[in-house]
């Protein structure tokens, strides 16, 4: 085989490894197949009408990485959020059919300040527009899983 063929294979392999590494920095488990996990984004509501409200049990809250050299913190990036957290939750109640269904897991990014002190294991309500969470409200201590479905319709959603 010629030297050019080996050089071509080396460039392709190096490019593939680099692309997979960069892709992995921005998305958790990029090659995993999860049927019951809905990935959602975050947007502020801006007085738009909610399409769906969900009652959640928060299963995981963790700080999202900032990427290579902190590039994920750059305010010039469209998807950049301040002090972003990645939240995973089980859907246990909803007000109407829509993007998410009871029994599914949703994962979304949210600024830490919007969590309002919520922690893993807590109940919360979120408002959904399209594929985005637009508001988050931790449930008061008086709300249980049994009463969550009735509370989400009156949960504050600024």
Enter the CATH code of domain 34-151. Answer: 2.40.50
Tell me the per-residue pLDDT of 4-22, one tens digit each, with 9 for 90 and over: 888 888 888 888 778 777 7
CB 110 within 8 A of CB 89: no
**H helical segments located in the chain:** 3-26, 145-151
Lowest mean pLDDT among 71-75, 90-94, 108-112: 71-75
Q: Which two tokens stand for residue 12?
A: 């392709």
CB 110 within 8 A of CB 95: no
pTM (predicted TM-score): 0.69
Q: Is residue 69's pLDDT more than 60?
A: no
Q: Go through the chain and tell me how many residues it has.
A: 158
Predicted local distance difference test score (pLDDT) of residue 80: 59
Instruction: Please tell me the distance from the alpha carbon of residue 31 to that of residue 7, in angstroms, as a whole number.
Output: 28
Q: Residue ranges per domain, the chain?
A: 1-30, 34-151
Which residues fall within 8 angstroms of residue 88, CB to CB, at 6 or more apart? 37, 58, 59, 60, 61, 105, 106, 107
CB 89 within 8 A of CB 20: no
Work out the burial of residue 31: count CB atoms within 10 Å of its CB; fewer than 13 is exposed, 13-18 middle, 19 or more buried: exposed
Biggest CA-to-CA distance, the chain: 74
Q: Which two tokens stand for residue 111?
A: 């600024």
Q: Is residue 50's pLDDT more than 80?
A: yes
């Amino acid at each position: 085989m010629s030297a050019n063929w080996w050089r071509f294979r080396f460039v392709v392999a190096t490019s593939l490894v680099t692309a997979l590494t960069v892709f992995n920095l921005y998305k958790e488990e990029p090659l995993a197949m999860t049927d019951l996990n809905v990935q959602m984004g975050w947007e502020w509501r801006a007085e738009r009408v909610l399409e769906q409200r969900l009652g959640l049990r928060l299963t995981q809250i963790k700080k999202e990485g900032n990427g290579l050299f902190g590039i994920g913190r750059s305010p010039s990036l469209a998807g950049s959020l301040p002090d972003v957290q990645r939240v995973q939750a089980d859907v246990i109640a909803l007000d109407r059919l829509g993007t998410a269904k009871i029994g599914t897991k949703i994962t979304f990014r949210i600024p830490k300040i919007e969590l309002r002190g919520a922690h893993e294991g807590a109940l919360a309500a979120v408002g959904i527009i399209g594929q985005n969470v637009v508001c988050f409200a931790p449930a008061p201590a008086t709300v249980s899983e049994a009463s969550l479905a009735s509370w989400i319709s009156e949960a504050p959603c600024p």
